[in-house]
């Protein structure tokens, strides 16, 4: 399942969501402020990245 990145227009938080391609145009709710004013960002794949770190926000 592809991963999509969204950015919240309300609090400017960016977050990632796994979901099917046929759901890619659905609005996603911001996990921080629970706003649906979110934009889907284009996925970018870089071929020369050597980074292995994946940052997760530790929401509580």
Q: Looking only at residues 15 through 34 of this chain, which bind Zn ion when binding is defined by CB under 5 A?
A: 30, 32-33
| Alpha-carbon gap, residue 7 to 52, rounded angstroms | 22
Shortest reach from residue 52's CB to Zn ion, in Å: 28
For 26-52, give one letter per residue: b (16+ CB within 10 A) or e. eebebeeeeeeebeeeeeeeeeeeeee
Size of the site for Zn ion (CB under 5 A): 8
Instruction: Pick the binder of Zn ion from 5, 7, 11, 29 (CB under 5 A).
Output: 11
The residue ranges that bind Zn ion (CB under 5 A) are 8, 10-11, 13, 30, 32-33, 35
């Amino acid at each position: 399942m592809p991963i999509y990145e969204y950015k919240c227009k309300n609090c400017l938080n960016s977050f990632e969501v796994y979901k099917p391609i046929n759901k890619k145009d659905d609005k996603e709710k911001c996990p921080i402020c629970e706003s649906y004013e979110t934009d889907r960002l284009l996925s970018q794949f870089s071929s020369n990245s050597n980074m292995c770190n994946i940052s997760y926000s530790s929401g509580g």
